[in-house]
Amino acid sequence: MIAWIHGHFHSMKDEKTVYQQIVTHQGKIILIDDEIDLSACDRVIDFKGAHVYPGFVDAHLHLLGYGQHIMQISLDGLNSIEDIIAHLKPYRDKTVLFAEGYRDLGLTRDDLDRYFPHQRVFLRHSDYHGLTLNSSALHAMGIDHPTGILKEEEASSVMTRLPKVDQKALEKMLEKAIDSLYAFGVTGGHSDDLYYFNGFFDTLNVFEDVLPKKPFRTHLLMHHMTLDDFIQSKKSWGIQTPYLELGAIKMFYDGTMSSKTALMFHPYQQMTTQGEVVMGQDAFIQVLKRVRHHGLTAAIHVIGDRGLDEVCDILLAHPPQPHQKDRIIHAPWAKVDTLMKLKKLQVTLDIQPQFLSSDLPKAWSHFSQRPELIFPWKTYLKEGLILSGSSDAPVEIPNPLQGMKDAIFRRSHEDHQCYALEESLTPFEALKCYTTDANALNFISPKGLLEKGYLADFTILDQDVLTMKEHDFDRHHVVMTVINEQVVYDITDKA
Ligand SMILES: [Zn+2]
């Protein structure tokens, strides 16, 4: 038995309940406050007045993609072509130059050829739905393309044809990602990884090898292209180990805002296009029917307001089993009429508050007409929907405190204005998104409260989220991260 004392243990069952000490045993909370006899405990850990929350969970990210991002050339934050070229020049001795985080500024194959005639250059767009290649890279991939700017299916087909990453390198990527998440106080994540690297079996092996050594509550979505592999594997759906679960089938309805492929009710600025259903609606429905046939749930990427409306219609026509819930990922724009459909569905929403601060107001410059509802999280809550907070890392940094800040204050990084404040969440609601409600679709339970019988996963901060001022969120507050009673991060070790 381990006693954890002198903390402010936020139960999260309501805003007020805070305990002073708890005892855990075999990975669960078993005693609270007055029930505790310290002399009966094997170990005592003193939190010295820190604030303790149920372990933070990121409800949608790409663990391997994030690990790769940490290890690769990053173009994050570079907003001019000159800066990008200057940043890449030192790598001219590489035969293959792969860089991430490129904000599509319209660089073409010819532009890249001028500076990098001999290397194969791959610039991965920051929305992860596009790639820009130079001539040598296009040639190596057997593609004839006028600009080298590839979007959606064209881009993803290049990604899947790149040489396999060796297993050791994938393990390293996963370890790097998890270490970084520990430091952000994150104890678990819902990750979409099984399609993009070495295929279902090898990639799953990486998780099976690493997680026993490096505990992290990992819930893996399964990309629809891996559905056959999953069926063939004869693995059961749900819990694999205390650290690994297999979850919903990841499907893409539309594209992204920056690629102008998100499906909107109104055409994009100076264009006739309104976005697209990336695989076509018939094919999408066929895949969903297969998902239902196997008794599984869907996790559907959708960005555009029209995309969301159509997904609602499709899910109403093809619901999951009565006890199941699908997940809708993103849903930043919506039409008021769509809410009536949305609340009838058996779904939870995986939202990315950090997209607001990164994308507004720039995203509006793409539209001919603004959507009716803008990152409408308060509205979603009022309609009774469950919101799970996430970063979509490596798209955003997987720091839940940044997500909570954006959910509460809604301030743009670009012009420092706050947008649609009527949609702001309270600090308690924002915290719930990354704790209690981020666990809504976990199979291992109960999780997400500090109450008896719940898992001993904690995030410990030096300040209370519920009383933080806006600028407080930008500081590092994580003093300790605990998973399954084990301290996996301790700030005093880093000193
Ligand atoms: Zn994603």
Q: Name the more confident of 107 and 196.
A: 107
Q: How far is the CA of 352 from the centre of ligand 1 (A)?
A: 10
C-beta separation of 337 from 300 below 8 A: no
**What would the two tokens of residue 426 be?**
């309270």
Q: How far is the CA of 354 from the centre of ligand 1 (A)?
A: 13
Mean pLDDT of 360-376: 93
Q: pLDDT value at position 323?
A: 95
Q: pLDDT value at position 162?
A: 85
Q: How far is the CA of 78 from the centre of ligand 1 (A)?
A: 22
Q: How far is the CA of 434 from the centre of ligand 1 (A)?
A: 16
Q: How far is the CA of 189 from the centre of ligand 1 (A)?
A: 12
DSSP conformation class of 361: T
DSSP string, 26-59: TTEEEEEGGG--GGG-SEEEE-TT-EEEEPEEEE
Mean pLDDT of 308-331: 98
Q: How far is the CA of 242 from the centre of ligand 1 (A)?
A: 24
Mean pLDDT of 188-200: 93
Q: pLDDT value at position 159?
A: 87
Q: How far is the CA of 68 from the centre of ligand 1 (A)?
A: 14
Q: How far is the CA of 21 from the centre of ligand 1 (A)?
A: 38
Q: How far is the CA of 392 from the centre of ligand 1 (A)?
A: 5
Q: How far is the CA of 45 from the centre of ligand 1 (A)?
A: 37
The mean pLDDT value of the chain amounts to 95
Compute the distance between CA of residue 27 and CA of residue 46 in angstroms, rounded to an integer. Answer: 18
pLDDT band with cut points at 50, 70 and 90 for residue 493:
confident
Query: 313, exposed or middle or buried, with CB in 10 Å at 0-12, 13-18, 19+?
Result: exposed
Q: How far is the CA of 215 from the centre of ligand 1 (A)?
A: 22
Q: How far is the CA of 192 from the centre of ligand 1 (A)?
A: 7
Mean pLDDT of 131-135: 96
Domain ranges of the chain: 57-64+166-449, 72-161
Q: How far is the CA of 349 from the centre of ligand 1 (A)?
A: 13
Q: How far is the CA of 65 from the centre of ligand 1 (A)?
A: 10
Q: What is the percent of the chain with per-residue pLDDT over 90, rounded to a whole number?
A: 87
Does pLDDT of 226 surpass 60? yes
Q: How far is the CA of 391 from the centre of ligand 1 (A)?
A: 8
Q: How far is the CA of 256 from the centre of ligand 1 (A)?
A: 11
Q: How far is the CA of 12 from the centre of ligand 1 (A)?
A: 27
Residue 181 C-beta-side C-alpha neighbours within 13 Å = 37
Q: pLDDT for 160-173, tens place per residue?
A: 888 778 899 999 99
Answer whether 57-64+166-449 and 72-161 agree in fold.
no
Q: How far is the CA of 285 from the centre of ligand 1 (A)?
A: 21
Q: How far is the CA of 313 from the centre of ligand 1 (A)?
A: 23
Q: pLDDT value at position 494?
A: 66
C-beta separation of 242 from 444 below 8 A: yes
Q: How far is the CA of 59 from the centre of ligand 1 (A)?
A: 10
Compute the distance between CA of residue 60 and CA of residue 221 in angstroms, rounded to an integer. Answer: 9
Q: How far is the CA of 33 from the centre of ligand 1 (A)?
A: 41
Please state which of the ranges 69-78, 413-422, 435-444 shows the lowest mean pLDDT.
69-78
Q: How far is the CA of 190 from the centre of ligand 1 (A)?
A: 10
**Beta strands 96-102 and 120-125, pairing class:** parallel
C-beta separation of 12 from 431 below 8 A: yes
Q: How far is the CA of 218 from the centre of ligand 1 (A)?
A: 15
Q: How far is the CA of 219 from the centre of ligand 1 (A)?
A: 14
The residues, ordered by sequence, that sit 6+ positions from 362 with a Cβ below 8 Å of its Cβ are: 414
Q: pLDDT for 400-433, tens place per residue?
A: 999 999 999 999 999 999 999 999 999 999 999 9
Q: Name the more confident of 455 and 96.
A: 455
Mean pLDDT of 157-185: 92
The CATH class for the domain spanning 72-161 reads alpha beta
Q: How far is the CA of 103 from the centre of ligand 1 (A)?
A: 17
Mean pLDDT of 249-263: 93
Q: How far is the CA of 62 from the centre of ligand 1 (A)?
A: 6
Does pLDDT of 495 surpass 60? no
- What's the pTM value of the predicted model, to 2 decimals? 0.91
Task: Tell me the CATH architecture of domain 57-64+166-449.
Answer: Alpha-Beta Barrel (3.20)
Q: How far is the CA of 67 from the centre of ligand 1 (A)?
A: 14
Of 254, 253, 255, 235, the C-alpha closest to 245 is 235
Q: How far is the CA of 398 from the centre of ligand 1 (A)?
A: 12
Q: How far is the CA of 132 from the centre of ligand 1 (A)?
A: 19
C-beta separation of 408 from 425 below 8 A: yes
